[in-house]
A and B are shown apart, each in its own frame.
Chain A
Amino acid sequence: MERAEELLKLEHVKKAYDGQEVLKDFSLTVHRGEVIVIVGASGCGKSTLLRCINGLEPIQGGRISLQGQVIDGRAKNIADIRQKIGMVFQSYDLFPHKTIMQNTTLAPIKVQKRIRADAEKEAEELLQRVGILDKKDNYPRQLSGGQKQRAAIVRALMMHPEIMLFDEVTAALDPEMVREVLDTMLELARSGMTMLIVTHEMSFAKAVADRVVFLDDGVTVEEGTPEEFFERPKTERAKRFLHTFEFDSVKK
């Protein structure tokens, strides 16, 4: 693989809640255009990791930087850095008092001071791309879970981020809606977006990832291409983890 620009760099990151270590010495470098999927059991620190990258959680050690700029939730420039990091949450978290159009154009207009007409035009194009343009004047509560999640993705994309973070974005969705959201993400990956994805959808991980990071107990246990990780896991812990999914699929 060609070495593109180093976009996001995590070096020896430590994160603890009330003395309990969630991330222990975690390092990861994301290059431009890469799609990295982070897998691991619940509570292994995956979501915390994304929240730290966005400066929503302070870290107790190490360094996180985007294009060389250190990310610190209390620093003055954090709002500028966050614009470059698009984040999509598990529970969509659209603004319930605003229409889909207002949801997607609020930050571009207020934060980036873009002209309303331009922002709305771009929002329409993106909503069209994810197939919910007809919902632009609806409120979030009038949309299905999958539609809301696609709107949330558009809202994040509107800021023209350098990298997109996805925190178990399909975990709260009905099975038939999972597909439409994953398709949106696949298309985004194809368009060259740099993405960091936390997911439990293993077949999706296989399809979309350039690299898979298996996180367990706050450390990277295994890292590799999807073929390596899913077909020939090296560690016992990864084998056990992957086995739980096979077991699940047998029961269905």
Chain B
Amino acid sequence: MDWNVIQEYLPLYKEAAVLTLRIGWIGILFAVILGFICAMIQHYRVPILRQITKVYIELFRNTPLLVQLFFIYFGLPKVGLPVSADVCGAAGLALLGGSYMAETFRSGLEAVETVQMESALSLGMKWFQAMRYVVLPQAISISVPAFTANVIFLLKETSVFSAISLMDLMFTAKDLIGLYYKTTESLFLLVVFYLIILLPVSIAASLIERRLRYAGFGN
């Protein structure tokens, strides 16, 4: 292992990591919003929209992100909607993540007994108040372990962004290997940078989970 090479490569990897994180967090943010909306539609059985979200969830949960990215990146320009690689990456991640988040939030909502809503309503709360103060806090706490697992999964999935020529960590490593054949150093840095991104997320996740377990529910 040549440390000079590593020092030389470091700025390139830093730049790539920033791109991975930037697109990753935007994608995850929209995945959460999309997933939450779909979960509410599913849980409250909104007619028509429910069938549409079901198709969306199954479609995106059961196809690889790479295939989805190809469709967005190469397909949309064909129908006159060219998208930049950045937007395409974030959109792909949001759509894939949305389908996972939807299932996560839905199972959280389902775990809250209906009588919780009823007892909140019987106290004179409006539906939105009952949702905000009683049902959602419980549903979200229940969803947290699956939610954090999704976040980690989605961050790792960003490694296929290189396929649509986004200069993420994977792209940088492959590029450097192709140019200079410094395979060991390039792959070493790749692993280290993914760990730098993901380890804090994992540790934060287990801390949150432990806190929630401690504050555990049970009636």
Contacts and interface: CB of A to CB of B under 8 A. Distances in A.
Interface of A: 54, 56, 79-80, 82-83, 85-87, 89, 91-97, 106-107, 110-112, 139-141, 148, 155-156, 159
A56 B133 CA distance: 19
A93 B141 contact: no
A90 B4 CA distance: 72
Contact of A83 (B116, B124, B133, B141): B124
Contact of B123 (A56, A92, A148, A155): A155
Contacts of A89: 115, 118-119
Contacts of A82: 121-124
Contacts of B124: 79-80, 82-83, 107, 111-112, 159
A96 B115 contact: no
B123 A141 contact: no
B129 interface: yes
Nearest to B118: A56
A111 B217 contact: no
A21 B116 CA distance: 26
Given A96-B218, A97-B141, A110 B133 contact: yes
B75 interface: no
A95 B134 contact: yes
Contacts of B219: 91-94, 96, 140-141, 148
A87 B119 contact: yes
A56 B219 CA distance: 22
Nearest to B218: A141
Contacts of B133: 106, 110
A159 B125 CA distance: 11
Given A97-B217, A107-B120, A156-B123, 6 more contacts: A92-B219, A93-B118, A95-B120, A111-B123, A111-B124, A140-B219
Interface in B178-207: none
Given A92-B219, A97-B217, A107 B123 contact: yes
B22 to A, nearest CB: 34
A26 to B, nearest CB: 20
Contact of A110 (B113, B116, B125, B215): B125
Contact of A56 (B113, B121, B126): B121
B77 interface: no
A97 B219 CA distance: 9
A111 B129 contact: yes
A79 B122 contact: no
A107 B137 contact: no
A91 B126 CA distance: 22
8 contacts: A79-B125, A89-B119, A95-B120, A97-B137, A111-B123, A111-B124, A111-B125, A159-B123
Nearest to B126: A79
B125 A93 contact: no
B216 interface: yes
B159 interface: no
B217 A93 contact: no
The 8 nearest A-B residue pairs measured at CB: A83-B124, A107-B123, A96-B217, A93-B119, A87-B122, A141-B218, A82-B124, A111-B124
Contacts of B118: 56, 89, 93
B43 to A, nearest CB: 18
Interface in B137-185: 137-138, 141
